[in-house]
Amino acid sequence: MTLDAHQHFWNYDSLRHEWITPQMAKIRQDFMPEDLGTLLRKNDIEGCVAVQVDQTEEETLFLLGLADAHDFVKGVVGWVDFRDENVYKRLDYFSQFEKLKGFRHIVQAEPDDFLTRTDFVQGVRHLSEFDFSYDILIYPSQLAAAAFFVSQLPDVRFVVDHLAKPDIRTGAIAEWSKGIKRLASFPNVSCKISGMVTEADWQHWQPSDLTPYLDVVVEAFGTQRLMFGSDWPVCLVAAEYKQVKDSINTYFSTFSATEQQAVWGENARKFYKIEL
């Protein structure tokens, strides 16, 4: 099965989606499964995982509704408040939804030490009891805290979104490389090859700009802990869906068939426990 392990749906609202700046005007509109389905078929992708962008339980239920209505939406990464004293009860409630695979918090918008906070760590600890995973969304400056976070939670399955957003635009790589390799040293951590074009120069990026960063994560995680994600529709500010896919496809074209199958879907299927 080929899978896009990271994309989003929304009904655009200027207040709820205030993170979409004027420079990102191209995505100031609705993006729904009907829009993505055609792109997946054209690019030989059989399914996708829809990931939250709003930090509300309503968002989680919205995505689950879309997944129920569209078979190609194979999984959902939602949101709960892990700092809430009732988080166990909320996870118990959400465990009834077959397509809900895991959760995410937009940590990139939090202080750099956020992932070291005891209440958050304790909340995320409950995920393993329900066999849910956790998506780590951070900037490079938060990699040290992420390593501490993961070290406290050996029973939780983690995946790093967007390679932890290295600064591809400027070519900065050394400190990010150290941090991502430290995070990769934990065997329960995987990484999404996603969100790279939006960390590069939106107007002038080339596939070769991505290569040094791909080299690092391949060395750090191996091909058995990497998964493709388009980050559609956010990617559209820098590239069309096909351009994103083609750039990754070119990089992995010399890898073995088994390794390519792993990156293009098998790893995501296993991580998110998606049935064939």
The residues, any chain, with a CB within 8 Å of residue 90's CB and separated by 6 or more, are: 57, 80, 81, 84
* 55-84 core/surface letters (b: 16 or more CB in 10 A; e: else): eebebbebbbebbeebebbbbbbbbbebee
User: What does the alpha-carbon distance between residue 163 and residue 145 come to, in Å, rounded to a whole number?
Assistant: 15
User: What does the alpha-carbon distance between residue 107 and residue 139 come to, in Å, rounded to a whole number?
Assistant: 8
Give pLDDT, residue 276: 77
Question: The domain 3-271: what is its CATH number?
Answer: 3.20.20.140
In this structure, the number of other CB atoms found within 10 A of the CB of residue 152 comes to: 14
- Average model confidence (pLDDT) for the chain? 97
Question: In the structure, what pLDDT confidence band is assigned to residue 5 with cuts at 50, 70 and 90?
Answer: very high
Cβ atoms of residues 214 and 192 within 8 Å:
no
**Torsional class of 166: left (φ above 0), alpha (ψ -120 to 50), beta (otherwise):** beta
Cis peptide before 212 (omega within 30 of 0): no
pTM of the model: 0.97
DSSP character for 31? B
- Report pLDDT digits (tens) over 158-216: 999 999 999 999 999 999 999 999 999 999 999 999 999 999 999 999 999 999 999 99
Listed by start position, the domains of the chain span 3-271
Indicate the range of 12-21, 90-99, 244-253 predicted with least confidence: 12-21
Number of H helices, E strands in the chain: 10, 8
